[in-house]
Structure 1
């Protein structure tokens, strides 16, 4: 535990930021899971709407530095691929 006043303040700030980032990441993962549930249920309309939410949250997380932009792009690509497989016409 720090003794210096500024270090004590910094510890409080760091803990607040950690909790906020954890909440943001959890929300991001939840939106991705909602999309994957819609895909598993073969509900194209729901999958499209949840994909938009997930992509928006991924972009926001990347712009805020919560995750790396390449990681966000990779996840978006994988989600899009799942939607394309789901909505592809069955021969």
Structure 2
């Protein structure tokens, strides 16, 4: 347990950040899920639209420090490849 005033404050801040990061991660996963559902349905237009909506949200996760840059780049690349395969 935190003893010093500084460590108590840190613990409070970490708790707040954790809630914010959890919500942001959940939001990103929802966007990714929508893309995957559109891909599964085979609807190319919906898949493209869902991917366009998901990309900035995923990039925002990188800038906020929730996800690693390369992880997001890999996920976007793989999703884009799957969407492109459906469109063709």
- TM-score bracket relative to the smaller structure: over 0.9
Residue 81 (str. 1) matches residue 44 (str. 2): no
C-alpha deviation, 1:36, in angstroms: 0.4
Kindly tell me the number of residue pairs found equivalent between the two proteins. Answer: 88
- What residue in structure 1 maps to residue 37 of structure 2? 37
| TM-score of the pair, normalised by structure 1 | 0.90
For 1:8 and 1:64, the matched residues in 2 are separated by 24
Q: Secondary structure at the match of 2:66?
A: coil
Q: Which has the higher contact order (CA 8 A, sep 6+)?
A: 2
Unaligned runs of 5+ residues in structure 1 are none
Tell me the C-alpha RMSD between the 2 structures.
1.0
Alignment of structure 1 residues 13-24 onto 2, 5 Å: 13-24=13-24
Residue 68 (str. 1) matches residue 64 (str. 2): no
For 1:64 and 1:3, the matched residues in 2 are separated by 29
Please list the CA deviations of residues 34-59 of structure 1 after superposition, one character each: whole Å capped at 9, or x if unmatched. Answer: 11001111111111111011111111
Q: Secondary structure at the match of 1:61?
A: helix
User: Which piece of structure 1 moves more, 53-62 or 2-11?
Assistant: 2-11
Greater radius of gyration (CA):
1
